[in-house]
Amino acid sequence: MTTTKDSAESGTDTETNTGTGLSQAETALKLLDTMLRIRAFETRAERLFLDGEIPGFAHLSIGQEAVAAGVCEPLRTTDYITSTHRGHGHTLAKGAPVPNMMAELLGRSDGVCRGRGGSMHIADFSVGMLGANAIVAGGLGLATGAALSARLTDRDDVAVSFFGDGATARGPFHEALNLAVVWELPVVFVCENNGWASTTRSSEALAVPRITDRASAYRIASRGVDGNDVFAVHDAALWAVEHARRGAGPVLLECVTYRMRGHYIGDATKYRERAELAEWEERDPIPRAVTEVIKAGVADPATCERMRRDAEVEIENAVEFARASAPPDVAELARYLYSERLPADSWSE
């Protein structure tokens, strides 16, 4: 983080780096705030799931919040993202409303997908979130197509595809990168390399040590970054998004990070050593960001603590909202599944 104490306190920090009009100090606090909201949301969702209040299956991104927060901050509402089975953080960072997100996890009618999607298929087109995806690497082609649509309709929107290291061993990764380069599409491919694909260590499944090692094969601009340093991720994202938006073609970003929970809620994680987790807990992106903003004089410890508590209150209110929301009406079960353009009563027979 480069913000200085003087500029943050004097209010003379006119240097903006996001195109959003925020100062560097405001941006730093926004990044921290987004990470705190994601952490609070998922920590609460974990308990709700274990208590049986969330149906289906859920995967947490606890430990990986810096990637979602850092990458989404430079994006506009009209930009697109596609996500993975581990998509709560991306969806929140892109601006989906927290109460309706929580209602979606609980399968309620006020959910962002009216309770049809749940944790693993969450989407909110109104903020450009085109969907979580249960198919590993399923989002890369969708983001590439969204970028093509922006190009064909003369919009300067960009598409970001989040995916894990495991996805890079699948065909859609290679097809999407190749086509995006050939057609110079405005896509930012963001690999969250958390070292594991389910129970398989990535070093046992990938032919290259770094995902960015693949970049030269596709002549794609790329950068690798510490994915647990939200400010480093943000800097890389600013570069990548600007590159794609000005028509210079796609970008591959590799964010090296770690999931501090199991592959899914309830996973006993017998395949990894406790010491490995402990090592990564030392690099938890949230305390690291707190230390940075305090050191830079952007906020004091009490402010950071208040932000954490505010995030928890916001999430608790979202839980109350979700619990009060009715389950979807069974008579409407087949509505909203295929196209919003269908006449309202097409599926009622």
User: Please, which of residues 257-286 interact with ligand TPP by CB under 6 A?
Assistant: 263
Least Å from the CB of residue 153 to ligand TPP: 30
Q: Are 121 and 134 in contact (CB under 8 A)?
A: yes
Interface with ligand TPP (CB under 6 A), residue from 136, 253, 260, 286: 136
Q: Centre a 10 Å sphere on the Cβ of residue 339 and count the other Cβ atoms it contains.
A: 7
# residues contacting ligand TPP (CB under 6 A): 15
**Does 90 interact with ligand TPP (rule: CB under 6 A)?**
no
- CA proximity to 37, closest of 88, 72, 107, 100: 88
**Does 224 interact with ligand TPP (rule: CB under 6 A)?**
no
**Does 208 interact with ligand TPP (rule: CB under 6 A)?**
no
- Residue type at 47 in one-letter notation: R
Do β-strands 200-201 and 196-197 pair in parallel, antiparallel, or remain unpaired?
antiparallel
Distances (CA, A) of 46 to 43, 58, 170, 262, 335: 5, 8, 29, 11, 29
Q: Are 327 and 334 in contact (CB under 8 A)?
A: no
43: three-class secondary structure by DSSP? helix
Calpha distance 22→41 (Å, rounded): 25
Interface with ligand TPP (CB under 6 A), residue from 40, 60, 197, 255: 197
Least Å from the CB of residue 22 to ligand TPP: 29
Residues in CB range of 201: below 8 A, 6 or more apart: 195
Interface with ligand TPP (CB under 6 A), residue from 37, 39, 85, 94: 85
For ligand TPP, which stretch binds (CB under 6 A), given 37-45, 72-80, 163-171, 271-279? 163-171
| Burial annotation 111-132 (CB, 10 A radius, 16+ → b, else e) | bbbbbbbbbbbbbbeebbbbbb
Calpha distance 146→142 (Å, rounded): 6
**Does 134 interact with ligand TPP (rule: CB under 6 A)?**
yes
Specify the residue, 167 or 256, whose C-beta has the smaller distance to ligand TPP: 167
Calpha distance 262→282 (Å, rounded): 17
Calpha distance 84→264 (Å, rounded): 13
For ligand TPP, which stretch binds (CB under 6 A), given 20-28, 107-115, 164-172, 217-225? 164-172
**Does 198 interact with ligand TPP (rule: CB under 6 A)?**
yes
Specify the residue, 165 or 229, whose C-beta has the smaller distance to ligand TPP: 165
Q: Are 107 and 330 in contact (CB under 8 A)?
A: no
For ligand TPP, which stretch binds (CB under 6 A), given 81-89, 245-253, 291-299, 327-335? 81-89
Specify the residue, 22 or 277, whose C-beta has the smaller distance to ligand TPP: 277
Q: Are 13 and 24 in contact (CB under 8 A)?
A: yes
**Does 206 interact with ligand TPP (rule: CB under 6 A)?**
no
For ligand TPP, which stretch binds (CB under 6 A), given 82-90, 111-119, 313-321, 333-341? 82-90
Least Å from the CB of residue 285 to ligand TPP: 15
**Residue nearest to ligand TPP as judged by C-beta position:** 164
For ligand TPP, which stretch binds (CB under 6 A), given 34-42, 103-111, 162-170, 210-218? 162-170
**Does 166 interact with ligand TPP (rule: CB under 6 A)?**
yes
Give the footprint of ligand TPP on this chain (CB under 6 A): 84-86, 134-136, 164-167, 194, 196-198, 263
